[in-house]
Amino acid sequence: MLVAALLAILGLPITTEWKAAVLLAGILWISFGKLTWCRRDLLALAAILIGQQAVLHLWPSPRIEVGENILLLKADTGPMEAVWPKSTQAKWKSLFSGSYPQVFPHAGHTWQASSPPEDAYGFHPEALWGPARYSRCIHSLSFDGIGELQGGFINDSRYNFWEGDMHRRLMPFWLMLEWGANTAGGSLFWQGEAMQVDPNGGMRSVYHPEFSAQKLGPEDLGSRWYFAFFPEAWPQLRGEDPNFKKKGEELYAYLRHTSAYPRLEFRPPWLAGLGAWAQQGLALTFFGLLVSRVTPLRGRDAWVPLGLALAGYLLIKLMMHYDWGKNLLALYPPHGGGDDGISHESLGLGIVRNLKEGKIAAALAGGEPVFYSTPGLRYFRAWEKIFFGATNLGYTLGLMLLPVALWGFLKNWLSPRLALGVCAVFLLSPPNLNFSFSSYVTLGRLGYPEPLATLVFLGALWILFLPDPRPDAGKRALWFLSGFLLFLGIFLRPNHAIPAGVTALAAIGLAWKQGDRVALACFFAGLGFFVLLPLHNVVLGGKFAWITSSVSIALPIPWATYPRAVGELLQGGPGEACHVALERIRLIFTEPTLLFPSWFSPYTWIGLVTRSLALGMTVWIVGRGLRGGEDRLFWLALIALANFPFLLVMHYPNPRYIALGWDLCFCTALIWIFCRLRIRFHGDRESA
């Protein structure tokens, strides 16, 4: 209820960093704080919420209808050109063809091989939350560059190109603004040319040589202003990409004179602006009362999750400051052409669009009646677009929770202070050394599912290995959640099915030892959501597949290759099987999860040696557990090792697929070392 109230007062969708930060902080406060349930405080929260909603719905706020799309044209006139002013049609087509000429026949993965937009205005997920005449309806506008535009068309896989003379991060686009109620008296700032069409159809071109304002009057209500953007023309936006082939400076100068710099800022009238400030002030007042009176944090350890999430946020901000991609936080730039990130984004956006159009079955299908690619991330991206619009804020919040989940998981064996120390190592290690938060940030920036899959898997283990064995309703609910999180781990990263199976065996062993079979039934009820995957494939696609239909392609190396390799070695004549086996083993032991940043590569050997030692210690702990009886650390070590067999049979192996395995090996080794030290120096023989 408190989380729902927090969402209501922040407003959906949440598209700004400060609101997302307040949301996450509020959820952590509610989760780790002590609920007071004081009637006076709850009534005060309700009064603030009602007041904020009254301001939201009754205060005059600007209404700006926005139409937006990629500027990608072919020879024939398409739906976009049909909605442009007549004087603009020929001009923009000439600008585009002069910058990006057609090439026949189409060769490679270039923009020429892409289809032009099928709709005049690109779909935007914010249209879910209110009626929009074109792409979306907004109350404020401020962006500098395509990443801050938060456009719905930006990561549509129909525009998935990575060769030729158009760079996705510099792709041209256009914008139409229709001024509605409460915009008169405001000012729009821009640089370059704008085509303005008044309600009577009169047209005029307005050029601003510098970034400056034009004030809107009552006569502008209902008028439409059109802007064409060619980011490539501006040297400050081109960067220093060695793979990008620049065009002539004469063309760039002409584009700068006949189009607009991709930056717009609308400053509303003072009365409308006052209403926006009032809404934000009431939201912050609500949050302040919530965390100080309703769910205060008691004890030093209760502050740790908040501090770890904040540390994660600061590291993400630091990395994004020095990285050109910036596919995290509130930014929404184009993913690289041909990469997995654009595929997951586009499928997720398609789910939201189908929901908007009432096509529930198509939304559930997720773009594939029978899953072929990794299934789970598209649905997470759809959820993100619903609650956070065209941003990467949902993914960012997941990354911020990763060190929190690690801390909670480690606390099952270590003291809170030691667990915090291990988390500090995790936060500060560079990607090359593995067991590194920054490696997950880099994977998240690329739009891969590994960070989220690791988050939910750690969450499942955190709950499962809780040392308190009391058989009560709370524990059983948590075990259900553990099983469900394990299902999500498989859903997001199917190769986690093997360690998930071992985790299920661990749950059986732990429940049997604790004498709580009801908790075990709850665990498997949560894990049982796995049946939705083959059910999806059978019902929607008419074909049975446990997870995806690409297994026969993705896993073409039979397990028998490795016994044959041993036989070839014993016979003294290494053959093909031996070559394949040795190559896979080399990949596991000598390839880091990431080689980033490149200047740190001379020190990569430190991470390789350290993780190999952790793997060896994990193997030893499994052997020790088999000889001396099972315990929680034995099961953890076995789960860690279960991550590696997948890479032995994968057709296109990538070290990031076993990032969870290496991290669990690090944790297993560190837990064993600290527990032995505790026994030696403090005489505490509590079993690990």
Confidence of residue 208 (pLDDT cuts 50, 70, 90): very high
Task: Report residue 357 CA to chain centroid gap.
Answer: 24
> Of 530, 549, 568, which residue is a domain's last?
549
Domain assignment present for residue 621? The answer is no
Q: What confidence score (pLDDT) does residue 254 get?
A: 95
Whole-number CA gyration radius for the chain: 28
> Rounded mean pLDDT of 507-520?
88
> Comparing 104 with 46, which gets the higher pLDDT?
46
Give the orientation angle of helix 659-682 with respect to helix 632-641, to 10 degrees: 150
Q: For residue 685, is pLDDT > 60? A: no
> Rounded mean pLDDT of 112-134?
92
Q: Which residues pair with 204 in a beta bridge?
A: 196
Q: Please state, in angstroms and rounded to a whole number, the distance separating the CA atoms of residues 259 and 229.
A: 6
Q: Which residues pair with 623 in a beta bridge?
A: none
CA angle 297, 302, 305 (to 5 degrees): 120
Domain assignment present for residue 412? The answer is yes
Q: Please state, in angstroms and rounded to a whole number, the distance separating the CA atoms of residues 344 and 380.
A: 9
Q: Please state, in angstroms and rounded to a whole number, the distance separating the CA atoms of residues 107 and 315.
A: 41
Q: Are residues 240 and 103 in the same domain?
A: yes
Least confident window among 214-218, 317-321, 581-585? 581-585
> Rounded mean pLDDT of 508-527?
90
Q: Are residues 315 and 174 in the same domain?
A: no
Q: For residue 521, is pLDDT > 50? A: yes
Q: What confidence score (pLDDT) does residue 35 get?
A: 85
What are phi and psi for residue 224, nearest 5 degrees?
-125, 130
CB 17 within 8 A of CB 330: yes
Q: Are residues 72 and 28 in the same domain?
A: no
Q: What confidence score (pLDDT) does residue 377 get?
A: 96
Q: What confidence score (pLDDT) does residue 538 get?
A: 94
Q: What confidence score (pLDDT) does residue 398 get?
A: 97
Q: If we measure between CA atoms, which residue out of 660, 24, 35 comes closest to residue 307?
A: 24
> Comparing 385 with 302, which gets the higher pLDDT?
385
Domain assignment present for residue 684? The answer is no
DSSP state of 64: E
Domain assignment present for residue 50? The answer is yes
Q: Please state, in angstroms and rounded to a whole number, the distance separating the CA atoms of residues 496 and 660.
A: 9
> pLDDT per residue over 75-92, tens digit each?
777 899 989 998 899 899
Q: Please state, in angstroms and rounded to a whole number, the distance separating the CA atoms of residues 642 and 63.
A: 55
3 state DSSP class of 35: coil
Q: Both tokens of residue 106? A: 């189409």
Q: Side chain identity at 310, as an amino acid letter?
A: L
Domain assignment present for residue 656? The answer is no
Q: For residue 576, is pLDDT > 90? A: no
Q: What confidence score (pLDDT) does residue 683 get?
A: 63
Q: Are residues 380 and 340 in the same domain?
A: yes
Q: Please state, in angstroms and rounded to a whole number, the distance separating the CA atoms of residues 669 and 614.
A: 6
- State the residue for tokens 């792709």: 171
Q: Domain containing 456: what range? A: 300-549
405's CB contacts (< 8 A; 6+ apart) are: 455, 458, 459, 462
Q: For residue 345, is pLDDT > 50? A: yes
> Rounded mean pLDDT of 575-586?
80
Q: Both tokens of residue 103? A: 């090439």
Domain assignment present for residue 464? The answer is yes
Q: What confidence score (pLDDT) does residue 686 get?
A: 47
Q: Are residues 156 and 110 in the same domain?
A: yes
> pLDDT per residue over 173-185, tens digit each?
999 999 999 999 9
> Rounded mean pLDDT of 440-465?
94
Q: Are residues 403 and 539 in the same domain?
A: yes
For the chain, the distance separating the N- and C-terminal CA atoms, rounded to the nearest angstrom, is 38
Task: Report residue 407 CA to chain centroid gap.
Answer: 21
Q: What is the mean pLDDT of the chain?
A: 90
> Rounded mean pLDDT of 102-120?
83
Q: Both tokens of residue 204? A: 């005029």
> Total domain count for the chain?
3
CA torsion through residues 572, 577, 583, 589, sign: negative
CB 295 within 8 A of CB 37: no
HEC profile of 334-350: CCCCCCHHHHHHHHHHH
Q: What confidence score (pLDDT) does residue 688 get?
A: 41
Domain assignment present for residue 577? The answer is no
DSSP codes of every residue in 14-29: --SHHHHHHHHHHHHH
Q: Are residues 106 and 209 in the same domain?
A: yes
Q: Please state, in angstroms and rounded to a whole number, the distance separating the CA atoms of residues 619 and 623.
A: 6
- State the residue for tokens 């299908």: 365
Confidence of residue 570 (pLDDT cuts 50, 70, 90): confident
Q: Are residues 426 and 488 in the same domain?
A: yes
Give the orientation angle of helix 517-527 with respect to helix 473-492, to 10 degrees: 30
Q: Are residues 493 and 517 in the same domain?
A: yes
> Of 246, 266, 286, which residue is a domain's last?
266
> pLDDT per residue over 374-407, tens digit each?
999 999 999 999 999 999 999 999 999 999 999 9
Q: Are residues 256 and 361 in the same domain?
A: no
Q: Please state, in angstroms and rounded to a whole number, the distance separating the CA atoms of residues 182 and 329.
A: 30
Domain assignment present for residue 493? The answer is yes
Q: Are residues 39 and 69 in the same domain?
A: no
Q: Both tokens of residue 169? A: 């991060």
Q: What confidence score (pLDDT) does residue 192 get?
A: 96
3 state DSSP class of 213: strand
Least confident window among 61-65, 127-131, 501-505, 600-604? 600-604
CB 57 within 8 A of CB 278: no
Q: Are residues 287 and 233 in the same domain?
A: no
> pLDDT per residue over 458-472, tens digit each?
999 999 999 876 667
Q: Both tokens of residue 182? A: 């409460």
53's CB contacts (< 8 A; 6+ apart) are: 8, 9
CB 112 within 8 A of CB 106: yes
H/E stretch holding 267 reads strand 263-267
Q: Side chain identity at 671, as an amino acid letter?
A: I
> Rounded mean pLDDT of 332-342?
91
Q: For residue 156, is pLDDT > 90? A: yes
- Is the previous residue joined to 431 through a cis bond, with omega within 30 degrees of 0? no
Least confident window among 146-160, 243-257, 374-388? 243-257
